[in-house]
């Protein structure tokens, strides 16, 4: 069984994997971040990488473990620390409350679809309706307008759920 913290961190690591970075190259950085923050899941806490102090921590860890080509942060000429694309995508996909990850958007193009461990048993959902339930009703022939009324969702939300499930099954 995967914990919520592991699930959240996997999202960021998948971004690096998709960018062609071997995950094994990031393991020393993750171990160092865990030790420095004394947190089992440091990436599930925004203070560990979004705040100025967090960015400095990431920069220090990045240098200590030699992640020159697999950057977590980019230093601009002005000296400002900017998050690299996988980190920026991760930050845009995760919703934090009081510094802790509470929800995630599994598909950046479909912001209506969210994963929340406290709703819909942690399954992808629009509001609290699992996307799988909505898509199954469409496959069974129910009109989208009826589904929209039944669950008090907009047609855009119904479309997003169906599209998410199509992408998920592809």
74: alpha, beta or left? (left if phi > 0; alpha if psi -120 to 50): beta
What is the predicted pLDDT for the residue at 17? 83
What is the predicted pLDDT for the residue at 1? 72
Q: Which of 100, 142, 136, 137 is nearest to 118 (CA)?
A: 100
Contact between 127 and 111 (Cβ < 8 Å) = no
What is the predicted pLDDT for the residue at 90? 85
What is the predicted pLDDT for the residue at 29? 87
Give the span between the Cα atoms of 1 and 4, in whole angstroms.
Answer: 10
38: alpha, beta or left? (left if phi > 0; alpha if psi -120 to 50): left
> Which residues, given as ranges, of the chain have pLDDT below 70?
68-81
What is the predicted pLDDT for the residue at 116? 96
What is the predicted pLDDT for the residue at 18? 84
Q: Residue 80 burial (CB < 10 Å; 0-12/13-18/19+)?
A: exposed
């Amino acid at each position: 069984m995967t914990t919520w913290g592991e699930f959240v961190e996997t999202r960021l690591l998948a971004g690096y994997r998709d960018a062609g970075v071997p995950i094994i190259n990031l393991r020393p950085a993750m171990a160092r971040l865990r030790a420095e923050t004394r947190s089992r899941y440091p990436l599930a806490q925004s203070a560990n990488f979004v705040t100025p102090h967090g960015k400095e921590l990431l920069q220090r860890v990045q240098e200590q473990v030699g992640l020159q080509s697999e950057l977590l942060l980019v230093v601009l000429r002005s000296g400002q620390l900017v998050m690299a694309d996988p980190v920026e995508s991760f930050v845009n996909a995760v919703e934090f409350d009081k510094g802790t990850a509470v929800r995630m958007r599994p598909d950046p193009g479909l912001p209506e679809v969210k994963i929340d461990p406290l709703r819909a048993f942690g399954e992808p959902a629009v509001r609290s309706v699992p996307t799988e339930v909505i898509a199954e009703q469409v496959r069974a022939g129910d009109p989208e307008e009826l589904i929209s009324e039944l669950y008090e969702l907009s047609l855009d939300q119904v479309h997003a759920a169906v599209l998410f499930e199509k992408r998920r099954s592809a």
